[in-house]
Structure 1
Amino acid sequence: MRYGGGHSARLRRRLLAATALLAIAAVGAAVALPLLRDRSQRRLERRADREVTATALRTRAALLATPSAREGTLRDTAGALDGVEVLTVEAGAAGVRLVFRVRVAKTAASVFGWQRATAAGCFAQVVNPAAAPAALERLPCPS
């Protein structure tokens, strides 16, 4: 008679070890996958926010390219850019002040399927042909 078991005891130990490894892998995946999905979503949201700022800067450049233009022309120039909505145009002593909203929607494929992020920002730009260009001002968006 053999002591310490035989083939069946070794097989049981191997099955127990494999089961333990699978359980550890399942728990690790259950914890890690939501964290990775959230991280991927936050990264996409940051990219959308950076694109909002970049679009606002392109709008500013387009507005300052023709500083002597009238209010309607400046409204059309800003409105022609993708994702830009002109909210108000006011003429005053400092020049023409445009308030506009930029909206960006980003979609990306990831390991977790399609992810979507939207970002919006409101900005104001004063255009005056007689003075140095004013800085782009970020404003809270109206509801």
Structure 2
Amino acid sequence: MAAHSEVRALTLWQPWASAMAYGTKRIENRRWATDYRGWVLIHAGLTTDREAWDLPLARPFLKRPQPRGAILAVGRLVDCHENDGYCTLWSAPGQWHWKFTDLRTLVKPLPWSGARGLWTPTPQLVASVREVIAHAGR
């Protein structure tokens, strides 16, 4: 994550936040599109998606502890496109597919309150995430 780049954050319900941070999920499904491209902090909200039990890809993440109310990872949002019939196994029909690359999981969740939509984190939060990433690289 570049020192002077613009950063946003996105709160995801569990188990989707954990699937992004600790699994292979690189598509986030949303009902709305964004023109933003760049670094996004992945925040685990306090809510669990009850429908996730019906989805085989989500079950492994539901069977382990799920951090809540914390930043779990940071990734680069590189694309946002309408449902094209098939994007990845994680893609949901009728949704906008937000494509992430360069995901970096924090070694320890960073407690923080989330928000709705694509939100702007405080400079303090961004600095804390950068510090955790730099410390992990040593």
Higher relative contact order (CA 8 A, sep 6+): 2
TM-score range, shorter chain: under 0.3
Q: Which has the higher strand share?
A: 2
TM-score normalized by the length of structure 2: 0.21
Larger helix percent: 1
Which has the greater radius of gyration?
A: 1
What's the TM-score, normalizing by structure 1? 0.21
